[in-house]
A and B are shown apart, each in its own frame.
Chain A
Amino acid sequence: KAGVTQTPRYLIKTRGQQVTLSCSPISGHRSVSWYQQTPGQGLQFLFEYFSETQRNKGNFPGRFSGRQFSNSRSEMNVSTLELGDSALYLCASGDPGGEQYFGPGTRLTVT
């Protein structure tokens, strides 16, 4: 069974631009969560989707948004990028028992 895939793996953007990251969960998993990882703050929860509905949202500004499609694939969007948005963005796919499986991440650098 294929694991969680994330595209692109690396991105360099300029302040003020917007970016869209994509995540394909493990086949059959309907839950997708997103996390931001930085050296200072560690791993922080962004949002969780289940069957196309946002189930939970972390404490991030409205510039961070996401969605989930009917095939469970998910995208997250960050508008008006700031230098502090530079991070590793990780997507996790959840099985019915609650175990979370993470993808390789997208490394976003904002200059």
Chain B
Amino acid sequence: KQEVTQIPAALSVPEGENLVLNCSFTDSAIYNLQWFRQDPGKGLTSLLLIQSSQREQTSGRLNASLDKSSGRSTLYIAASQPGDSATYLCAVRGPGADGLTFGKGTHLIIQP
């Protein structure tokens, strides 16, 4: 059974810092990995999708990498801003897929 772990569970940094969020998964047989952000009480916003054949994806200040063989992904946020404060969720999809398997998230606070 696929398990997804996100470290750290919470992170508070001053504005302007570059930061890295980590995601690990136990079964490397995945189709893709997706990063989301969730604001309090809201739905999920898709940030980046990485297919299993890809190593990284970039969107603006965000860069996500995937190392399928080691079961790891990182989300890099450059020049963090207070508006980046949210919970960041990592999810993987694999064969026989019971939908997406989510980590518990990293709760990020960017201090102005």
Most chain A Cβ neighbours within 10 Å, of B36, B43, B101: B43
B51 near A48: Cβ-Cβ < 8 Å: no
Interface string of A48-67 (1 = CB under 8 A from B): 10000000111100000000
Residues of A within 8 A of B103 (CB): 42
B104 at the interface (CB under 8 A from A): yes
Given A45-B98, A45-B100, A100–B43 Cβ distance below 8 Å? no
Interface residues of B in 29-61 (CB under 8 A from A): 31-32, 34, 36, 41-46, 49, 51
Which parts of A75-111 form the interface with B (CB within 8 Å)? 88, 90, 92, 97-105, 107
Q: Tell me whether A43 is interfacial, beta carbon within 8 Å.
A: yes
Mostly, the A contact residues are strand
Is A24 part of the binding interface, using a Cβ–Cβ cutoff of 8 Å?
no
Determine if B44 and A33 form an interchain contact, defined as CB atoms under 8 angstroms apart: no
Q: Contact between B100 and A102 (Cβ–Cβ < 8 Å)?
A: no
With A43-B89, A90-B44 in contact, do A100 and B102 touch (Cβ < 8 Å)? Answer: no
Residue numbers in A under 8 Å from B97 (CB-CB): 48, 56
On whether the beta carbons of A42 and B104 are closer than 8 Å, the reply is yes
Residue interface bits B49-86, CB-to-A below 8 A is 1, else 0: 10100000000000000000000000000000000000
For A46, the closest partner residue in chain B by CB is B99
For the complex, what is the distance from the CA of A99 to the CA of B44, rounded to whole Å?
12
On whether the beta carbons of B100 and A99 are closer than 8 Å, the reply is no
Of the residues B32, B43, B51, B93, contact of A105 by C-beta under 8 Å = B43
Give the docked Cα–Cα distance between A105 and B42 (Å): 7
Contacts of B31 in A (CB 8 A): 98
For residue B89, which residue of chain A has the nearest CB? A43
B78 to chain A, nearest CB (A): 22
Q: Which of B41, B43, B101, B102 contacts A103 (CB 8 A)?
A: B43
The 5 nearest A-B residue pairs measured at CB: A45-B99, A102-B44, A43-B102, A104-B43, A102-B43
12 contacts between A and B (CB under 8 A): A6-B43, A33-B99, A33-B100, A42-B103, A45-B98, A47-B99, A48-B97, A56-B99, A99-B34, A100-B46, A102-B44, A107-B41
